[in-house]
Amino acid sequence: MTGSGQDPLPTATYTHLLAMTTDIGLFEHAYLRHPRVEHGYCTDDVARALAVVVCEPEPTPELEEAADVYLRFLESAVTPNGTVHNRMAVSGMWLDAPGTDDMWGRAVEGLGAAARRASSALQNRAFTAFLVAAQGRSVDVRASAFAAVGAADVLSVRPESEAARDLLADCLDRLPRGVGEHWQWPEKRLRYANATLCQALIVGGEALDDVDTLNQGLTHLAVLLGLETGPYGHLSLAGTNGRGPDDQGSLWDQQPIEAAAIAAACLEAVRITGDPRWAKGVSQAWAWFTGDNDSATAMYDPADGAGYDGLELDGRNENCGAESTLAALSTLHDIRALSAMTT
What tens digit of pLDDT does each residue of 195-205 get?
999 999 999 99
Q: How far apart are CA 313 and CA 236, in angstroms?
A: 12
Q: How many residues comprise the chain?
A: 343
In CATH terms, the fold of domain 41-278 is Glycosyltransferase (1.50.10)
Sequence spans of domains, the chain: 41-278
Q: What angle do CA 140, 48, 154 make, to 5 degrees?
A: 75
Query: What pLDDT, on a 0 to 100 scale, did the predictor assign at position 178?
Result: 86
Buried b (16+ CB within 10 A) or exposed e, 265-296: bbbbbbebeeeeebbebbbbbbbbbbebbbbe
Instruction: Flag whether pLDDT at 174 surpasses 50.
Output: yes
Query: What pLDDT, on a 0 to 100 scale, did the predictor assign at position 2?
Result: 44
Query: What pLDDT, on a 0 to 100 scale, did the predictor assign at position 129?
Result: 98
Instruction: Flag whether pLDDT at 12 surpasses 50.
Output: yes
Q: How far apart are CA 63 and CA 168, in angstroms?
A: 30
Q: How far apart are CA 101 and CA 269, in angstroms?
A: 27
Residue 94 — φ and ψ, nearest 5°?
Answer: -70, 140
* pTM as predicted: 0.95
When pLDDT is averaged across residues 178-183 and rounded to a whole number, the result is 83
pLDDT category, 230, cuts 50, 70, 90?
confident
Q: How far apart are CA 187 and CA 224, in angstroms?
A: 11
| DSSP string for 36-68 | -GGG-EEHHHHHHHHHHHTT-SS--HHHHHHHH
If you average pLDDT over every residue of the chain, what do you get? 95
More confident of the two residues 334 and 245: 334
Residue 240 — φ and ψ, nearest 5°?
Answer: -65, -20
